[in-house]
Every structure is written in C-alpha cells, then in structure tokens.
Amino acid sequence: MNSFEYASPTSLHEALSLLGTNWGDADILAGGTDQISLMKDYIHTPKRVVSIRKARELDGIRHSAHGLRIGANVTVDELMGNQMVRAEYPSLMQAARGISSPQIRNMGTVVGDLCQRPRCWYFRNGYGLLAMKDGKSLVTDGENKYHAIFGGGAARFVSASSFGPPLIALNAQLTIASPSGTRTVPAEKFFVTPADENSREVDLKPNEIVTDIVIPSARGIKNATYEVRQKEALDWPLAAAAVALEMDGANVKSARIVLGHVAPTPWIANDAAQQLAGKSIDPQTAEQIGAAAVNGASPLSQNGYKVQLAKVAVKRALLAAAGKS
C-alpha cells in the first residue's frame, strides 16, 4: 500500500479536525476490517488515516426508555453480548450471527458495516464504482451473478451491509458529526445510489463521522432478519430480508420489509408491507408477501436466482418474527 500519515486522536473534536474536505485527504479507521483491504488493493490511497478507537465518547451501547444508542466504536461482538439487543432486537442479533468470522466480530464495528464499500469485484479490481468502460457497463454483459436485481440505474453493485436492512426496518437514525456541527439522517436515507464515479454510496462527506446509531424502542414490535447464504463460512449473503411488525392482536397493524444484497441500497418493499396490514401471518400469507416483495425485480443474465432467494428470505423472516418458523 502507499505510505500515509497515521493519527490516533483521543476525542471526537480532535478526530474531526484531522479530516479533509476532499475524498483522499483522510480516511477514518475504526475496526479496519474493510479499510485495510481497500488500501492494500489501492482502491483507497488516503494521505492520512485517522483512528477513532481512542475517542471514548464513541464507545458503548446505552439504553433508555426511548430505545438504544450504539456508538461508532461498538463491535459486532459487543452488540451480540448486549442483553437488551438479545431481548428486544432479534433482527440485529440474527444479522450479527451471519458474520461468522470471530476475528471480524471482534474487530469490526456496527457503524463500519454500514459504511463499508461495495464488494463488487469490478470495483475491488479498480474498474470504478459503476464499472463502466467506453461508456458501457462491464456488469451487464459480464460476470454478474452476485449483482443487483433492483435499482435499474448505472450502479449494479449490491449494498454489502448486514445491519442496514434491520436498522431501516426498525426506523433507526444515524447521528453524523462534522466540524460545523451534527445532523441526523434516517437509516433509510443514509444509503444512496451514486450518480457517478465521484459519488459515494452513503450520505457521508469527507469531513464527517457517523457517531451514533439511535434505534427507537422495539417493545411490542416483532422483528427478524433472514439471510440466504451459499456457505456457512465467512461470506456475504446472496439475499436477505429484515422485517418489523406492529401487531394488533393476531393481525399485523403495520409492517416494514427491507431486502438486502439485491440492490445498491437496502431495498424497501413498501407495497408488500402495505399488503400485509390487517392480515395474520401464516405460511401461505408469508409466501404471498414474499412474492409481492420481489415484484419489479429486473435480474441480469446470471442472477435471476436471486429473485427466488429474496422471496424466500421475506417469507422466512416473517415467519420468524411471528414465532412460526
């Protein structure tokens, strides 16, 4: 990798002062499970790397009557060991279990999972975020079996985040700090589809840091995540679904259904969620809603199988949330 300056500030204020106004001036290092790979592959060549691990205000999981706050330094292991997460947010616990590497669980952070760059092999091999050559997409006529079936634009990679779908389903918000102050972004708006090679796939500027994830209380909200994988060893899912259900007795009052690993952003299936309102959950209903969730899918030449996998993921997430899996 290229040489770089390393900084290890002890406060958020100091960390922010070390960032630049342009991508490439500085990169943030938390767990480093993605950052180091990007630097080794020369996808990122920052002049400075700013570690935030000593900024103690970014540590910890805090509970309140209103919900949960997860700091930027919280690792996947810390999340999995938290009793409130286990009891109230099973969808987060299930997503965490899917990260099967003990090393990544120990070092990787929840916020880092949200901010990781695409795993698209064209991007990781230096062909750019949109994988274009001579004005034409390399993905469309190339190896595309792991690419998007939703989205329809120039970006054909899939969001690699494991925690994005359940956090969106749970109506989480992200707190983002910059030298000029803080702002709050709903999780569903944090992920964006880039318009060009110079854009990013998350709503984050070069001089900003995600400091917290804030999740409303999920008391009374049935939630679950289901991921379909090719193997149990460390790998990213082929398709996933996260659901959050507000119940009225045995029937669904309102629902949130979010697909993962099928689009450049976590894919919110609003129509399918609306169809679920007023219904009780059984295998037949869950299958119907799964089919509704993949309406409008537009698979590429080699990834049509993802349509069925996403449909099954929704069905099984719904049954798991309802305690009928």
pTM: 0.96
pLDDT digits (tens, 9 = 90+) for 165-217: 999 999 999 999 999 999 999 999 999 999 899 899 999 999 999 999 999 99
User: What is the predicted pLDDT for the residue at 257?
Assistant: 98
- Pick 136 or 19 by higher pLDDT: 19
pLDDT band at 93 (very low <50, low <70, confident <90, very high): very high
Q: At residue 52, does pLDDT exceed 80?
A: yes
pLDDT digits (tens, 9 = 90+) for 138-168: 999 899 999 999 997 889 999 999 999 999 9
pLDDT digits (tens, 9 = 90+) for 217-256: 999 999 999 999 987 777 889 999 999 999 999 999 999 9
Going 187 to 229 to 245 to 148, the CA torsion angle's sign is positive
User: What is the predicted pLDDT for the residue at 65?
Assistant: 78
Distance between CA atoms of residues 158 and 140, nearest Å: 14
Distance between CA atoms of residues 289 and 58, nearest Å: 39
